[in-house]
Amino acid sequence: MSAFRAVYADWKLVKTRQSVQIIFEVPLQEADAAYEVLGGMPAPAAERWFGIAALRDSERAPQPVVDKPPAGAKRDKRDWSDLQPQQQAGIRCNEPTFIAFLKEERSDDWHEAQDAAECVRLICGVSSRIELGINPNAGIAWSKLERQYQAWKAVEHA
């Protein structure tokens, strides 16, 4: 095998090397195969270049079928990372702590918007939160805002 499937998860600017790290996630059960394709651990002295191509919809990983819990059974919460960016933003915009973060850390945007949802749309450069899951730049802006919020929360509200 010379290829593997992965999901584009994030990117990170590496200022000291004038580059960007692009982060892809591989399902755990496929990790060994991906590791083999990549040739093991990276060797800084021997760079290897790889091509990355988007899969067509029909080639994407199938979504797992989730059995419905029996009536009256307690439903497990979904992991935050399983939610689409627009869902994450919708949840955050109803959290008083997130609103406090926007008022404190993004005061210029807050004063222009006066509403958490509008403030997020303004910061991310979209007219609707649904675009956070469609427009890659908006999704990146949302991820950055979420990371800033988590960092602020860890310091301010630990």
pLDDT of residue 82: 87
Mean pLDDT, each 10-residue run in order, the chain (158 residues):
78 81 82 81 78 68 51 66 91 93 90 88 92 90 93 78
86 within some domain: yes
Please state whether beta strands 19-25 and 7-14 pair in parallel, antiparallel, or not at all (unpaired).
Answer: antiparallel
Q: Which residue has the tokens 């002295």?
A: 45
Which domain range does residue 110 map to?
82-156
- Three-class secondary structure of residue 99 per DSSP: helix
42 shares its domain with 92: no
22 within some domain: yes
Instruction: Indicate the pTM of the whole model.
Output: 0.52
Q: How many domains does the chain have?
A: 2
23 within some domain: yes
pLDDT of residue 87: 93
20 within some domain: yes
86 shares its domain with 52: no
pLDDT of residue 52: 82
49 shares its domain with 94: no
- Pairwise CA distance, residues 52 & 3, whole Å: 9
The candidate with the shortest Cα–Cα distance to 116, out of 91, 147, 143, 150, is: 91
pLDDT of residue 157: 63
pLDDT of residue 69: 56
95 within some domain: yes
110 shares its domain with 147: yes
1 within some domain: no
* Per-residue pLDDT tens digits for 129-140: 889 988 999 999
